[in-house]
Each structure stands twice: as structure tokens, then as C-alpha cells.
């Protein structure tokens, strides 16, 4: 019968096991980092520039009746945003789709590239507004490089569309307000007017207790926006930023729709707390209607917080810091391998030293 293995030998066995685990983890991290870099360098499409102008140019002249889709706050979502996209793709003859901001967690170029890759190949032209998350990490500069001007307008048939920028969560800046009023003046020769912006000026009717800090902080500017929309008989104002659905009606039938269910985590505020969604707007000669299209997804919050968010940040971090990261991982992996080999030799040597202590004949 052999004697019980001494404590030193058991400790070396424990260290060897931990070293093997560390070696495997480092190897997986090393291979994963290389795979991400290969994907970002050779597989992920390069950044498109002038995105909105190119897609606006693709918008066809509508007939007497048409529809378009409005969404917002997908914020680098993968799983749920793909469900939203799939539903939008299933809609027939959409004139266009507009995403009203918070396209990404922050405005790093690689995150914008990932977003553009998500919406490549959409049947209807896909245009955007800029949100508060989009301008983080020098995002405004990157947004303007890849998507174009931060505010713009376009027409389609007898319809005038105006996209504003209030991504600072404070206001539509003075120069833009002057431009906005001139655009509204030009729109008077058109039958219908639609305005899009990320941060709503006011809360809606469904959530009257929503804190006002979630809306434009410059309340005079918010009043000025509403005044212009009422004065120039805007038909619909669309906002997002609130991760829920809401609705309001301003004087002279100015309809306000808030839609922030494009894929990011939802706010626990009303009966829409578990429902991602987008808006389908239908225009006919005598009226404009909208429909909330629900997207139900089990475990949506779990996947967004523990899969989509970590994966996107990891992908961006590796892409942006590959050189020194792979060097550090390489050194760590080499060290783990050397330590494992050394511990294995020590453990074998210890076992051989224990052989003479065995009782002969047993």
C-alpha cells in the first residue's frame, strides 16, 4: 500500500490544474481576438459614407396611398433588432424606414460599421436621425462622416419630411431652429408635413409621471418647437429616446408619436413594458393613420444586457486595441504554457521521489 501523497504534491497538482485552466482561457482569448480582427479587417464591410443622402435618393415617388416605418433606440441590439428588421421586411411596399437615433451604444466607427452591416440589404431605403448615444466617443464627427448632415429634409410626392438633431438632450440649436422654420415655410406648398427628432420635447399622454429630465431640458426651446409645428400645421411629429410607446395630440391636430422599442432594454413604465415595437404609418388621400407593430421576444432583456452589449463592446475593444492586446495575450499565454510545463515536471519529479517510500511487496 502506498503512503498518502504529501501536502506539497497535492498543492503542486492544484497549481497544475489552475495553470492548465489559465492556459486554455488564454488560448481561447488569443484565438478569439485574432478571429475578431480578421472579421473586422476582411469580412465586416467598410464604413459607408453619405448613407442618408444615398438612401433618400432611392425613395420612390409615392402613389396616392403609401406607408413608411418609424422606429428608434435599437442601440446596438442584435437579437431583438433582427426581429424588428424581419417584421419590417415583411411589410409590403414601404416607402422607407427611419431609425430615429440611438443606433449604437456610442459613436465609435466600428460600432457604426456593425450597425450599417445590420441594415444592409433592407428592401426599403433606410435612413436615420442622430441620438444622444450616437454622439458619445466623438460620435457626432463619425456620424456626419458616415451618415451625412445631422439634420436634413426631403420630399416624396406631396409630402415634406424634416429630420432634426436634438441629440444633446437640451435643444434644437438656434441655427437649426432658423433652418427648421424656413423648411416649414417651404413645406406649405405640400399637402402633408412630418417631423422627426430623437428627444421628444414633451411627455405623452400615456406616461404623465415621466420625469421631465428625460425630455428636452431647454423648456423654452421645447415650447418653440411645438409652436412652430402648430403654426405650420405639421401633421405628425415622431420622437424616440423613451424606451416605450407614447402618444400626444397638440393643437390643430398635430399628432405626436414616441416610439423607442427598436431593440434596446425597455423602460418599465406602462403596459408596453414588455413589448418592443415599431410604427407603421399609412397615408391615404384623406387621412393619415399609424399602427403600433408589436415585437414580442422572450428573454429580450437578458440577451441584450448579457449577450449583445458585452459582445459589441468586446468586438469594438479588440478591433480598436488589437496590437497591444494580442501582445499582452501572447505573453500571458506563453507564460501560462511555461508554468504548466514546469509544474508538470515538478509533479512528476515529486512522484518519482516518493517511490522508495513504498512498502516492498505491497
Q: Tell me: the pLDDT tens digits for 89-121? A: 999 889 999 999 999 999 999 999 999 999 999
Compute the distance between CA of residue 141 and CA of residue 148 in angstroms, rounded to an integer. Answer: 10
pLDDT at 166 over 70: yes
Residue 265: the pLDDT is 92
* Mean pLDDT value of segment 139-152: 98
Q: What are the distances in angstroms from CA 347 to CA 213, 303, 339, 356, 358?
A: 63, 43, 12, 16, 17
Nearest to 27 by CA among 337, 314, 344, 345: 337
Compute the distance between CA of residue 129 and CA of residue 110 in angstroms, rounded to an integer. Answer: 18
Q: Are 291 and 305 spatial neighbours (Cβ–Cβ below 8 Å)?
A: no
pLDDT at 167 over 90: yes
pLDDT tens track for 1-60: 445 555 566 777 888 889 899 999 999 999 999 999 999 999 999 999 999 999 999 999
Band of the pLDDT at 206, cuts 50, 70, 90? confident
Residue that has been written with the C-alpha cell 515529486 in this structure: 350
Band of the pLDDT at 362, cuts 50, 70, 90? very low
Grouping H, G, I as helix, E, B as strand and the rest as coil, residue 32 is helix
Q: What does the DSSP 8-state code read for residue 284?
A: E
Compute the distance between CA of residue 245 and CA of residue 273 in angstroms, rounded to an integer. Answer: 9
pLDDT tens track for 221-250: 999 999 999 999 999 999 999 999 999 999
Q: Cell numbers of 103, please? A: 443606433
200's torsion region: left (phi>0), alpha (psi -120 to 50) or beta? beta
Architecture of domain 51-315: 4-Layer Sandwich (3.60)
Boundaries of every domain in the chain = 7-43+321-355, 51-315
Extended beta strands in the chain, E state: 66-71, 94-99, 126-128, 152-156, 159-163, 192-196, 236-239, 245-250, 254-259, 276-284, 287-295
pLDDT tens track for 75-97: 999 999 999 999 999 998 899 99
* Mean pLDDT value of segment 276-282: 97
Note if the pTM is more than 0.75.
Answer: yes
* Average model confidence (pLDDT) across the chain: 92
Task: For 156-217, give the DSSP string.
Answer: ETTEEEEE---TTSS---HHHHHHHHHHHHHGGGSSEEEEE-SS-SS--SS-TTS-GGGS-S
Work out the percent of the chain whose per-residue pLDDT is above 90.
80
Compute the distance between CA of residue 19 and CA of residue 278 in angstroms, rounded to an integer. Answer: 50
Compute the distance between CA of residue 337 and CA of residue 107 in angstroms, rounded to an integer. Answer: 39
More confident residue, 352 or 45: 45
Sign of CA pseudo-dihedral 56, 59, 65, 70:
negative
Residue 6: the pLDDT is 59
The CA-CA-CA angle for residues 72, 78, 83, to 5°, reads 70
Q: Are 236 and 281 spatial neighbours (Cβ–Cβ below 8 Å)?
A: yes
Compute the distance between CA of residue 294 and CA of residue 301 in angstroms, rounded to an integer. Answer: 16
Residue that has been written with the C-alpha cell 463619425 in this structure: 142
Residue 271: the pLDDT is 60
Amino acid at each position: 500500500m502506498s503512503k498518502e501523497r504529501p501536502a506539497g504534491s497535492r498543492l503542486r497538482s492544484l497549481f497544475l490544474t489552475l495553470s492548465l485552466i489559465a492556459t486554455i482561457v488564454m488560448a481561447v482569448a488569443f484565438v478569439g481576438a485574432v478571429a475578431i480582427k480578421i472579421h473586422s479587417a476582411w469580412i465586416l464591410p467598410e464604413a459607408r459614407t453619405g448613407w442618408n443622402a444615398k438612401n433618400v435618393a432611392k425613395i420612390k415617388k409615392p402613389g396616392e396611398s403609401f406607408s413608411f416605418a418609424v422606429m428608434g433606440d435599437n442601440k446596438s441590439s442584435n437579437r431583438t433588432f433582427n426581429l424588428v428588421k424581419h417584421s419590417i421586411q415583411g411589410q409590403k411596399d414601404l416607402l422607407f424606414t427611419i431609425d430615429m437615433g440611438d443606433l449604437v451604444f456610442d459613436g465609435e466607427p466600428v460600432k457604426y460599421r456593425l450597425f450599417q452591416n445590420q441594415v444592409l440589404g433592407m428592401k426599403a431605403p433606410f435612413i436615420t436621425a442622430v441620438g444622444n448615444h450616437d454622439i458619445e466617443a466623438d460620435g457626432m464627427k463619425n456620424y456626419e462622416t458616415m451618415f451625412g448632415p445631422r439634420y436634413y429634409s426631403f420630399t416624396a410626392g406631396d409630402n415634406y419630411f424634416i429630420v432634426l438633431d436634438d441629440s444633446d438632450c437640451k435643444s434644437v440649436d438656434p441655427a437649426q431652429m432658423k433652418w427648421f422654420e424656413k423648411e416649414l415655410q417651404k413645406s406649405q406648398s405640400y399637402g402633408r408635413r412630418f417631423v422627426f427628432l430623437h428627444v421628444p420635447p414633451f411627455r405623452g399622454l400615456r406616461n404623465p409621471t415621466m420625469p421631465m429630465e428625460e425630455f428636452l431640458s431647454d423648456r423654452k426651446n421645447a415650447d418653440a418647437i411645438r409652436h412652430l409645428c402648430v403654426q405650420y400645421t405639421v401633421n405628425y411629429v415622431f420622437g424616440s429616446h423613451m424606451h416605450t410607446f407614447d402618444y400626444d395630440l397638440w393643437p390643430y391636430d398635430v399628432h405626436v408619436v414616441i416610439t423607442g422599442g427598436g431593440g434596446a432594454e425597455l423602460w418599465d413604465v406602462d403596459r408596453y413594458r414588455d413589448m418592443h415595437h415599431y410604427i407603421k404609418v399609412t397615408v391615404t388621400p384623406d387621412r393619415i393613420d399609424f399602427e403600433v407593430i408589436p415585437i414580442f421576444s422572450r428573454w429580450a432583456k437578458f440577451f441584450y444586457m448579457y449577450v449583445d452589449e458585452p459582445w459589441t463592446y468586446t468586438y469594438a475593444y479588440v478591433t480598436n486595441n488589437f496590437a497591444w492586446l494580442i501582445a499582452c495575450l501572447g505573453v500571458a499565454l506563453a507564460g501560462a504554457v511555461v508554468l504548466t510545463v514546469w509544474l508538470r515536471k515538478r509533479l512528476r519529479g515529486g512522484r518519482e521521489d516518493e517511490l522508495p517510500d513504498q512498502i516492498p511487496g505491497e
